[in-house]
Structure formats: C-alpha cells, structure tokens
Amino acid sequence: MKRAFVLLLCGLFVGCSGSLKPTEETAGVTVNSATPDQEAAAHTRPLRLFIFDCGRIRFESVAGFGLSETDTAIRELAAPCYIIDHPKGQLLWDAGLPSDLAKSSGWISRGDGVDVALDKTLAQQLEEMDLGFDLDSLEFTAFSHIHWDHVGAANDVSSSYWLVQQGDYKAFLDPIGTSVPAIDPTLLVAMAERPTRVLTGDHDVFGDGRVKLISAYGHTPGHQVLYVDLADYGPVVLSGDLYHFPVSRTNRVVPLFNVDKPATLAAMDRVEALVSESDADFWIQHDLAHFLSQQKAPEFYQ
C-alpha cells in the first residue's frame, strides 16, 4: 500500500532556503564541514522532489513510437524537469525543451510534424520561486538521456557534476559517429565544461541509497531512470523515456527510434522488477495527464 501523499508548501518547511553546502570533494564523495549534530539532522532531513513545467510536445502520428494510430488518442506530451533537494545538495533530473523556445509564445513548428512550446525557462522559474537553489548552485545534473527534449536547459547550468552513462557520453562526444538520433549538440555545449562522472551502471547519487540512477539502456545507449525514496510519499521511479505513453507500458512497446530493442526490453524487465520489489510509484514523465495531476514547484513531494 502506498504511503500517504504529503504535500507541503516551501514556506512552511524549516530549512527551505538553505542547505549544507559541500566544501570538499574526495574521490567522488562529497564531504560536509558541518558539526556532528548538523550531520545527523541533515541525514534525516526528508528529501524534497520538485516538478517543473519545461514544455510540451505535440505531433500528428504515434507511428514512431511503435504504436498504431488507434492504440492511443494521446498526441501531446509533457516535458518536465525535476529537482531533488537532498541535504548534501540538489540533483537536476532532466532539463526539458530548449530554453530558447521561451522567447516565442505558443506552439512552434519544428517542421517534422512536431510542434513544441515552452512558456518559461527553468532558470526563470527558479529565479521567481526563490527556493534557495538555482542552476548556478546544483550539486549534480543527470539526464535520463541526451535527446533534445530532455536537455533543453543544460546550457543554463553553471555548476554541478554531470552524471552520465558511458553510452550517452560517447554519443555526446561523437554524435555523428555513434548515430544516435534526436541529439542536438548545441544544447549540450555547457556540459563540456562540467566535471563529469561517466557511469557504467547503477549509481547511488548521494551515498545514502535514497536517490539512485538505474541504468536502463536501449532508448539511447546510456538511458537511465531515477529511483527516489521519499520519506512520506514513498519510493518513486522517474522513468525517463522507458515509455512515452501508458499503453506503451501495458503492451511493452519499443519505439522505432530506440537504438537497441532487446536492451530496451531487458531494461523494462529490470526496472519493472525494481518497481515491484520496492512498491514504488511509477511516473511516465511524458504522460501529460499524469503531469497535470501532479503538484508543481514551489510545492513539492517529500
């Protein structure tokens, strides 16, 4: 049984605008300069998960997703960004549509049967909300994968380690040679400046088991999902593009543009096993109806 949904406004939460900042990095382990009491308090402080609207995508056909046109009536997707606020810093998980789209209002045609819209950049949203962190103070950045609709605010990030799976990192270094579709290198320019940890499997982001990157290759060579163990809400899996539609999950449908179909199916099995074992809530990130039902920043899940 799912734990009770708990929602708190930022202003009601002590410590909302401040967190212990790391002062030293040792072999990939973040070390705080806090006192033992502060350390203990920080360790038990609940995680907070913020959801941001980072754009919409709409299209005429779902054929590219491996579906027939009658499998689903959905033709519009959400493109959220998420920030996990941990006592040791913040993790940005996915960065939505390209920030430049916010310079225009309404839908913009990409010319390939896909329209996109972005009301406000993630940086603008964070500035207005004044949550105590922004894209200049993040500890970590990770994308589910490096497709253009998941890295759109990457060039606005001026802090943090980039946590990337090896397959996507190779595609980042050589997008033409690796022929991974839907990569726009101009959106990833700033990532070349970030200190980078190239991963070859699952990774415990803060070292306490509460925020974990789970490798789920196949959509791209370095696709991953995020497991977050929230104290009150319970565990949740943010599934990147493992599925784009609920029917894709029900029927185990692999998009035509995935780089590796068997790996995708294996990733589905692996992630679904994790969901069953942990009784985690499962979020299909592009599921617009689900996204609309969720609480957005400055409210949060914890």
Q: Report how far residue 154's alpha carbon sits from residue 204's, in angstroms, rounded to the nearest whole number.
A: 22
Phi first, then psi, for residue 20 (nearest 5°) are -65, 130
- Per CB under 5 A, contacts with Zn ion among 124-153 are 149
Of residues 229, 205, 203, 231, the one with CA closest to residue 281: 229
Task: State the binding string over 146-185 for Zn ion (x if CB under 5 A, else -).
Answer: ---x------------------------------------
- Nearest approach, Cβ of residue 150 and Zn ion (Å): 6
- How many residues sit close enough to Zn ion to count as binding (CB under 5 A)? 2
| Distance separating alpha carbons of residues 112 and 134, to the nearest angstrom | 33
Return the number of the residue (50 or 243) whose C-beta is nearest Zn ion.
243
Among 115, 139, 168, 241, binds Zn ion (CB under 5 A): 241
Binding segment for Zn ion (CB under 5 A), chosen from 112-120, 169-177, 239-247, 261-269, is 239-247
H or E element, residue 267: helix 261-278
Nearer to Zn ion, 85 or 241 (CB): 241
Beta bridge partners of 76: 58
Q: Does the footprint of Zn ion cover residue 287 (CB under 5 A)?
A: no
What minimum distance in Å lies between the beta carbon of 146 and Zn ion?
Answer: 11
In degrees and rounded to multiples of 5, residue 50 shows phi and psi of -105, 140
Closest separation in Å from C-beta 194 to Zn ion: 21
Residue closer to Zn ion by CB (options 80, 87) is 80
Whole-angstrom distance, CA of residue 196 vs CA of residue 284: 27
C-alpha radius of gyration, the chain, whole number? 18
- The conformation of residue 65, written as its DSSP 8-state character, comes to G
Rounded to a whole number of angstroms, the minimum distance from the CB of residue 66 to Zn ion is 14
In sequence order, the β-bridge partners of residue 196 are 162
Residues 293 and 224: their CA atoms lie apart, in Å, by 24
Q: Closest CB to Zn ion among 203 and 223?
A: 223
Q: Which residue lies nearer to Zn ion by CB, 121 or 144?
A: 144
By CB under 5 A, the residues from 49 to 88 that bind Zn ion are none
- Which of 134, 287 has the CB closer to Zn ion? 287
CB of 145 to Zn ion, least distance (A): 8
Tokens at residue 241, please? 């593009």
Q: Which residues bind Zn ion (CB under 5 A)?
A: 149, 241
